[in-house]
């Protein structure tokens, strides 16, 4: 087992990783920018190294600075958290060349899944159900038109280097296609420096259902069911839950087994999330994320498994600590993401937190880097905490979310907590009756 791990991240996820390391008897190294001298992750780690000025590309994204921090502290492995360098295959190659282990999959697997066409081809070959669409990349309007003839409309043009919603354009009919194709290509080129695009049938009202998987890198893998992450605004998730309100035990076993078999057969190592659109009781693969996700605690709550501990075990050459037949979901969990933003327009609102009081009690977890007196720097993501509740069933989880939101105190800045009070009163939310468009439509009507 590793003796010392460096956490190449900040905020609540850095704390999350430090906590797992502490329980495993592993020493921790925090890295931080000059804007994060007083950050909680720096206080909570055994050691810390300043790696540069506030902008991320000069600190949390600086590969030389992070490798230097490993060398001066003797850290053997890096946990990347999410965002920053977590899905950067070149980073993995470079640290491996320096004899440092990456707590995550191989550079090759990150590369395959980072290119959305090779990801889809790989999944298709492994019998994972995919959205009907073009055979690989579409290089001309002529080919695009042929795809439209074959699969019909509406369709969506997506950037191969995209993901997370950037570089996508919908065409409702063949007259729209030229514009969608050219716009998607030029947006892809300016956003990613790569104008390659592919085409899929556009699913009009799906849910976003994602399956948590884990591989040991030696041909064994498990799944830990699904999360319903349909409640999003501008491709930012707002609330996630597990189990999905629309998913039965039979459906979970069906899609879960497809996913665990797929990752086992490519010798995938570590945590992964296979994202699907789910419409009319059918799953359609869209992307795979090769990192630990923000919303992983809802899965931890219902399966009772520490996902970061499993990541560290696998990276250091151990087996997974559980088999599939030991994994049974229990109850229901919901995560509310708390952002330092002003409603109704979600404008980032960093500042000084004059008072922070975390809720507690049965089935309540708060993952947050806040403390009373903390000054939130303006340079980073506005996520300041996650409130995760667990109940015996969905109703109890929703009641517990309401109660714990009432207990939560964050003074001095505006936050998105009021949004959840409103959501919990809504009939569609109470009934679990929502899809990927529900939240944006509801915000428009409010
Ligand atoms: C789609 C789609 C409909 N049909 N693909 C958006 C982000 C990226 N991960 C994939 N996305 C979508 N792909 C097909 N073939 C609709 C979306 C989409 C979406 C997906 C998940 C969650 C929220 C979304 C909001 C708008 C569009």
| pLDDT, tens only, 24-68 | 999 999 999 999 999 999 999 999 999 999 999 999 999 999 999
Sign of CA dihedral 320, 325, 326, 329: positive
Question: What's the rounded Cα separation, in Å, for the pair 116 and 286?
Answer: 8
| Residue identifier of the C-alpha nearest atom 24 of ligand 1 | 436
The Å distance, Cα 32 to ligand 1 centre, comes to: 34
Question: What's the rounded Cα separation, in Å, for the pair 358 and 410?
Answer: 9
Quote the pLDDT of residue 233.
97
106 falls in which pLDDT band (50, 70, 90)? Answer: very high
**By C-alpha distance, which of 195, 298, 191, 289 is closest to 242?**
298
**By C-alpha distance, which of 247, 365, 230 is closest to 298?**
365
Quote the pLDDT of residue 165.
75
Catalytic residue among 16, 227, 252, 291: 291
167 falls in which pLDDT band (50, 70, 90)? Answer: confident
Whether residue 166 is predicted with pLDDT greater than 90 in this model: the reply is no
163 falls in which pLDDT band (50, 70, 90)? Answer: confident
Please, are residues 4 and 29 in contact by the beta-carbon 8 Å criterion? Answer: yes
Residue 227 CB partners (closer than 8 Å, separation 6+) = 209, 210, 212, 240, 241, 242, 244, 295, 298, 299
The Å distance, Cα 18 to ligand 1 centre, comes to: 33
357-374 mean pLDDT: 98
291 part of the active site: yes
Percentage of the chain beyond pLDDT 70 is 100
| Residue identifier of the C-alpha nearest atom 19 of ligand 1 | 436
The Å distance, Cα 261 to ligand 1 centre, comes to: 25
- Determine the residue of 116, 206, 293 to mutate for testing ligand 1's pocket, defined as the one with the most ligand atoms within 8 A of the Cβ atom: 206
Please, are residues 5 and 103 in contact by the beta-carbon 8 Å criterion? Answer: yes
User: 101-102 and 155-163: which strand pairing?
Assistant: unpaired
The Å distance, Cα 165 to ligand 1 centre, comes to: 7
- Virtual torsion, Cα 113, 115, 118, 122, nearest 10 deg: 10
- Determine the residue of 156, 226, 237, 287 to mutate for testing ligand 1's pocket, defined as the one with the most ligand atoms within 8 A of the Cβ atom: 156
Q: What is the pLDDT of residues 112-140, one digit of tens each?
A: 999 999 999 999 999 999 999 999 999 99
Please, are residues 35 and 379 in contact by the beta-carbon 8 Å criterion? Answer: yes
Q: Is 121 exposed, middle or buried (0-12, 13-18, 19+ CB in 10 A)?
A: middle
Query: What tokens appear for 320 in the block?
Result: 């997974």
Query: What tokens appear for 309 in the block?
Result: 């501990």
Quote the pLDDT of residue 40.
98
| Residue identifier of the C-alpha nearest atom 5 of ligand 1 | 202
State whether the beta carbon of 235 lies less than 6 angstroms from ligand 1: yes
Quote the pLDDT of residue 352.
98
Point out the ligand 1 atom lying closest to the alpha carbon of residue 165: 7
Please, are residues 356 and 267 in contact by the beta-carbon 8 Å criterion? Answer: no
Residue 113 CB partners (closer than 8 Å, separation 6+) = 87, 119, 122, 272, 287, 288, 289, 290
203-224 mean pLDDT: 98
Question: What's the rounded Cα separation, in Å, for the pair 313 and 306?
Answer: 11
What distances in angstroms separate CA 271 from CA 33, 60, 296, one per listed residue? 27, 22, 10
What is the overall mean pLDDT for the chain? 97
Percentage of the chain beyond pLDDT 90 is 98
Quote the pLDDT of residue 446.
86
Length of the chain: 446
> Three-state SS for 394?
helix
Query: What tokens appear for 335 in the block?
Result: 């995560």
Whether residue 77 is predicted with pLDDT greater than 90 in this model: the reply is yes
Question: What's the rounded Cα separation, in Å, for the pair 357 and 91?
Answer: 38
- Virtual torsion, Cα 216, 220, 225, 226, nearest 10 deg: 60
Query: What tokens appear for 236 in the block?
Result: 């930012």
- Alpha-helical (H) ranges within 38-140 are 40-44, 63-73, 89-97, 107-114, 116-125
The Å distance, Cα 99 to ligand 1 centre, comes to: 39
State whether the beta carbon of 36 lies less than 6 angstroms from ligand 1: no
| Residue identifier of the C-alpha nearest atom 17 of ligand 1 | 165
**By C-alpha distance, which of 422, 425, 429 is closest to 343?**
422
């Amino acid at each position: 087992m590793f003796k010392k791990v460096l956490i190449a991240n900040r905020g609540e996820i850095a704390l999350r990783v430090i906590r797992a390391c502490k329980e495993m008897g592993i020493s921790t190294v925090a890295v931080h920018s000059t804007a994060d001298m007083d950050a909680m992750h720096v206080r909570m780690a055994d050691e810390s190294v300043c790696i540069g000025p506030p902008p991320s590309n000069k600190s949390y994204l600086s590969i030389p600075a992070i490798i230097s921090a490993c060398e001066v502290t003797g850290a053997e492995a890096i946990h990347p958290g999410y965002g920053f360098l977590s899905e950067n295959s070149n980073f993995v190659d470079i640290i491996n060349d320096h004899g440092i282990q990456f707590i995550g999959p191989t550079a090759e697997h990150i590369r395959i899944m980072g290119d959305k066409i090779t990801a889809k081809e790989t999944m298709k070959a492994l019998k994972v159900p995919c959205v009907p669409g073009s055979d690989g990349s579409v290089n001309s309007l002529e080919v695009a038109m042929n795809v439209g003839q074959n699969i019909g409309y509406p369709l969506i043009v997506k950037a191969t280097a995209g993901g997370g919603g950037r570089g996508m354009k919908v065409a409702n009919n063949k007259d729209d296609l030229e514009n969608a194709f050219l716009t998607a290509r030029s947006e892809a080129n300016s956003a990613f420096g790569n104008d390659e695009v592919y085409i899929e049938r556009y699913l009009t009202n799906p849910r976003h259902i994602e399956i948590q998987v884990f591989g040991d890198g030696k041909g064994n893998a498990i799944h830990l069911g699904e999360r319903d992450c349909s409640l999003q605004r501008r491709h930012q998730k707002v609330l996630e839950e597990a189990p999905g309100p629309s998913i039965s035990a039979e459906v979970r076993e069906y899609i879960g087994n497809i996913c665990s078999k797929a990752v086992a057969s490519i010798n995938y190592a570590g945590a992964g999330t296979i994202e699907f659109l789910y419409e009319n009781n059918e799953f359609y693969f869209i992307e795979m994320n090769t990192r630990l996700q923000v919303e992983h605690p809802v899965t931890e709550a219902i399966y009772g498994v520490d996902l970061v501990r499993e990541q560290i075990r696998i990276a250091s050459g151990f087996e997974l600590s559980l088999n599939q037949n030991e994994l049974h979901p229990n109850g229901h969990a919901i995560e509310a993401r708390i952002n330092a933003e002003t409603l109704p327009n979600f404008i980032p609102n960093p500042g000084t937190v004059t008072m922070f009081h975390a809720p507690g009690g049965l089935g309540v977890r708060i993952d947050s880097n806040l403390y009373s007196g903390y000054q939130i720097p303006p340079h980073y993501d506005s996520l300041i905490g996650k409130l995760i509740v667990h109940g015996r069933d969905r109703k109890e989880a929703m009641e517990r979310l309401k109660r714990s939101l009432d207990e939560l105190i964050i003074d001095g800045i505006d936050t998105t907590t009021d949004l959840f009070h409103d959501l919990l009163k809504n009939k569609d939310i109470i009934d679990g009756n929502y899809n990927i468009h529900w939240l944006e439509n509801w915000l428009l009507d409010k």
